[in-house]
Chains A and B, each alone.
Chain A
Amino acid sequence: MGLLTGLKASITRATDRLFSEEDPKRIGIYGPPNAGKTTLANRIARDWTGDAIGPESHVPHETRRARRKENVEIERNGKSVTIDVVDTPGVTTKVDYEEFLEFDMEEDDAVRRSREATEGVAEAMHWLREDVDGVIYVLDSTEDPFTQVNTMLVGIIESRDLPVLIFGNKIDLEESNIQRVTSAFPQHETVALSAKEGENMDEVYDKIAEYFG
């Protein structure tokens, strides 16, 4: 009897330990194409793990598959927060292969890229519905944030009660207008940054630790 009681107690302790140690939260980096999502994902991954996540490009839909960097440990104020960073393809409601021809791409390559891009968008939406615990929504602060895709995506994120941070990227560019980004989604915290130049990354990491820790 004593043996059984002891066994039960040790199993309870083991399962308690197993479930008290939370898995890292999966934080999806979302936004429209060319907002700088992969540049940000690479910046975060390089800063804390030394590795990049994926290739960056000025051609839209360079990221056509969601990519996850696991166990990114971010240290802030003596504490550490471990997250999985999920870089997702840019979300849109339309993909026209002719858009890629403007980037000196052969027609076959442009058609293939457009097919992969559509699959990537669908994959990003699936991740959003099923597999992320929080969202970093990246916007190009030189562009108009009042687009339908942004409105819908933020609405979908809110409907799922996911914690979300809005990142106004590309503040190193002259045309950047961070006030416009802030006013587009006043219900959410907005952080200004340049992922490419590494501007304001301290605040970026403070907010990631605060929201997703």
Chain B
Amino acid sequence: MPEATAPTDDGSGVQIDLISGERMEGLASMEKIRIILDGVHDGNIVILEEGLTPEEESRLIEVTMAEIDPDGFNGIEIETYPQNDARDRSLLGRIMGQEDTAKLTVIGPANQIETLHKDETLISALVSRK
């Protein structure tokens, strides 16, 4: 699997990492959490094609709390579609073989991402630079 190219962080933009379900498949929970939090620590917005299990979400909260530092990192903003999201029932979802648990998930640094609107089919977020 090819590695992602090194970011060129000149402060002029926001890096967005769209991580496929395939890339996360087979990884241990902590490896997934590390990929997410390492990206977020770098100021990136991480978008997971298939999200995390409830157990992994629980551990993500715990690890995030352990890494909060008053001098810098103050946590994450995370958004997924509400339960029973429409995508899972859609024709495209069925064709793509997505399971009911698959849910697109957006995660970013709490001080850079603000959710403007969320419903069963739309997540609208405002992302700012560091």
Contacts and interface: CB of A to CB of B under 8 A. Distances in A.
**Genuine A/B complex:** yes
Interface in B57-87: 57-59, 61-62, 64-66, 68, 70, 74-80, 82-83
Interface in B83-126: 83, 110-111, 115, 118
B25 interface: no
B70 A125 contact: no
B54 interface: yes
Contacts of B70: 97, 111, 114-115
B53 interface: yes
A100 to B, nearest CB: 10
Interface string A110-138: 01001100110110011011000000000
Given A155-B57, A159-B55, A93 B78 contact: yes
Given A94-B75, A95-B74, A151 B55 contact: no
Interface residues of B, number: 26
Contact of B58 (A97, A148, A156): A156
Contact of A151 (B58, B75, B77, B83): B83
Contacts of A159: 53-55
A155 B83 CA distance: 8
A125 B78 CA distance: 17
Contacts of B80: 148, 151-152
B112 to A, nearest CB: 11
Given A96-B75, A148-B80, A159-B53, A129 B68 contact: no
Given A114-B68, A151-B83, A146 B76 contact: no
A209 interface: no
A206 interface: no
Contacts of A119: 65
Contacts of A148: 77-80, 115, 118
B118 to A, nearest CB: 7
Nearest to B68: A118
Nearest to A150: B82
Q: Which of B57, B58, B115 has the largest number of chain A CB atoms within 10 A?
A: B58
A167 B61 CA distance: 23
Contacts of A155: 54, 57, 83
Contact of B61 (A97, A111, A146, A152): A152
Q: Which of B70, B75, B76, B79 has the largest number of chain A CB atoms within 10 A?
A: B70
Counting from the closest, the 7 A-B pairs by CB-CB distance are A94-B75, A94-B110, A159-B54, A118-B65, A96-B74, A122-B65, A156-B54
14 contacts: A93-B61, A93-B64, A93-B110, A94-B75, A95-B65, A96-B75, A97-B74, A114-B70, A115-B70, A125-B65, A151-B80, A152-B61, A155-B54, A156-B57
Given A125-B62, A156-B57, 5 more contacts: A93-B61, A93-B110, A94-B76, A125-B61, A148-B78
Interface of A: 91-97, 111, 114-115, 118-119, 121-122, 125-126, 128-129, 146, 148, 151-152, 155-156, 158-160
